[in-house]
Amino acid sequence: MRYRIALWAGAGFLIAGGWAVYFALASKDRPIGPIVSAVARLTCPVAIVGSHIALSVYWVLVANVVTYALVGLAVETLRRQSSRSRSR
């Protein structure tokens, strides 16, 4: 189970890192489209807070890793419980 949670946390890191690279390379002259903003907020929930408070890239990475690890813990716990109930 630890391995799976580490995979969730790694996914959170890669997603936040990908958004950081995207926004660093995106043109500053063009506004962010509503679809891109919605997808960023869905995949990187700390972006919601980041739109109100200035956060460094490092804090966004850490927050996304923690968020994905907690979601992974919840999902893996539910998955484990459901597999136990099916085997009985």
Q: What pLDDT, on a 0 to 100 scale, did the predictor assign at position 85?
A: 77
Residue 46 CA, distance from chain mean position: 8
**Structure tokens that stand for 57 in this block:** 């890239």
3-55 pLDDT, tens per residue?
999 999 999 999 999 999 998 998 888 888 889 989 999 999 888 887 788 88
64-84 pLDDT, tens per residue?
999 999 999 999 999 988 887
Question: What's the pTM?
Answer: 0.83
Collapse the DSSP code of 88 into the 3-class scheme (helix H, G, I; strand E, B; otherwise coil) and give the result. coil
Q: What pLDDT, on a 0 to 100 scale, did the predictor assign at position 69?
A: 96
pLDDT confidence tier of residue 88, bands split at 50, 70 and 90? low
**Structure tokens that stand for 3 in this block:** 């391995």
Q: What pLDDT, on a 0 to 100 scale, did the predictor assign at position 75?
A: 94
